[in-house]
Every structure is written in structure tokens, then in C-alpha cells.
Structure 1
């Protein structure tokens, strides 16, 4: 089962469950340049600019999270790629999956900008840039 969780609830979950792992599935450029939550592991699901599938995604997660019962929170830009990633991990046997709705930057607003209507940064949660 994949639980849908908002950014604030995800942060609270992370504080209360030190055994969790946060996987940011965005492209490494997004992760580095736009920012990410502290402690996030970057395992891209797809690579820009063509958004090609990462054939090593599952193996990359397995290296970080070998125990299928570990709580895994998944984050992307808006919550769509992280949902796809959660579905792949569920099919691979991971049992405690949390998709962070709104992602890091949130949905597009009427001007087609992000980080103005939702997302990790918009909610004022801790983040950093590399």
C-alpha cells in the first residue's frame, strides 16, 4: 500500500521515525540546484532533458534500503514521479511507502510557476542546496 502524505506530515513522520529513508527521485540537477530536504538520498527515476527512465532505479534504492520493511518516503517535484517510483517499489516488495503529495515545488499556479501554491519549500520545511 502506498500512503499519500502531505509535506508537513512527512516532516513530522521523519522526526518521529528515525528508521525512515527519504528518497528524492528527481534528476540530479533538480536535486542539486533547486534543493532538497536534509538527509534525502537522490535516486533518479528519470533523467532530464528527455526524461528517460533510469534502468538502475530499483537497484539504487536497494543499495540504500535493503530491508523491504523500512519506511520509505518518496519525493519529486510535484508528487507524480514519486508516485510512479512508489508503485515500482511496491511491486518489488517494499511494504511501507509514503508518497509526498505536492513534492518539493508543488503544483503549477495560474502563471505556470511552482513553489507558490504548495510543496516542501512553500510549506517552510527545512531544505538545502548542494
Structure 2
């Protein structure tokens, strides 16, 4: 299996702005989308695709992930940017998608919230939110 390239949140957002076929897939859980927020892409005339890699609360891997990508309109030609909380689940999702026939995947490094800061809070050090990229509460 080929490796999945990592890109910064800023580089992913630029790609979403510049490439009409680029897609952002947020692989976090329903709880994270609802309580933490989601990337806001209306400014680039897109919507984030919400497909959990693991299903809350059991955190079992979503066995239908590739099928859900297809249903969302993602194709083998799509450039897909995978995002989770900190970059680990999105890497696993991107690798699985690659094996399922989606070869143009990128892992968004540090994800939506990034690592914790000195006080144990996420979203202040790095990641989508810390980069000041658009997001909203659901």
C-alpha cells in the first residue's frame, strides 16, 4: 500500500478552494460534530462530507466506510482530504479508502482540534480551528 501524504489544514483548505473536485471528509463521530463543531465550507461553495470512521459509542470501525464515500459522490478520481480530531483516525480512514479504490487521499495533519495545550485544552495549538479556518457549531 502506498503511503497517504499529510497536508496542513491550511493546505487542505487551499486545495478545497482551488480544486472544484476536492472533497473534505470529516471522519469524526456524530458526538464530535454536534458538540465540537465542523468545518464550514459554504464560502468555497462546498459542504463537508460527514462519514464516521468509528461509530460512537462503541468506537467500532465503520465497515461501510467505502460504501458511504461512494454514496456521497466521492470517486476514484476525487482528491479527498480526510480530517478527524488530531490526525490519527483520518490516517486510518485514508489508508482504508486507498485500499478500497480511492487512491488520491490526503491526511489533514493535526485534524480539527490538534494536540492538547499545556492546560489540557484542544484547539489552541494546531489543527483546523487553531489555524483560524472557517468552522461552525452544528
Query: Hey, what does 1:21 align to over in structure 2?
Result: 23
CA distance in 1 between partners of 2:118 and 2:60 (Å): 28
- 3-state SS of 1:22 partner: strand
| TM-score of the pair, normalised by structure 1 | 0.93
Taking only aligned residues, the RMSD between alpha carbons, in angstroms, comes to 1.3
CA distance in 1 between partners of 2:54 and 2:23 (Å): 20
Check conservation: 1:21, 1:65, Cα contact below 8 A: no
The structural deviation recorded for 1:33 is: 2.0
- 2:123 is equivalent to residue 115 of structure 1: yes
Unpaired runs of 5+ in structure 2? Answer: 41-46
The structural deviation recorded for 1:50 is: 3.1
Q: 1:88 aligns with which of 96, 108, 114?
A: 96
Unpaired runs of 5+ in structure 1? Answer: none
Query: Hey, what does 1:103 align to over in structure 2?
Result: 111
Structure 1 runs of 4+ off > 6 angstroms?
Answer: none
Matches within 5 A, 1:1-130: 1=2, 2-38=4-40, 39-130=47-138
| TM-score of the pair, normalised by structure 2 | 0.88
The structural deviation recorded for 1:72 is: 0.6
Check conservation: 1:19, 1:70, Cα contact below 8 A: yes
Matched residue pairs, number? 130
CA distance in 2 between partners of 1:63 and 1:74 (Å): 16
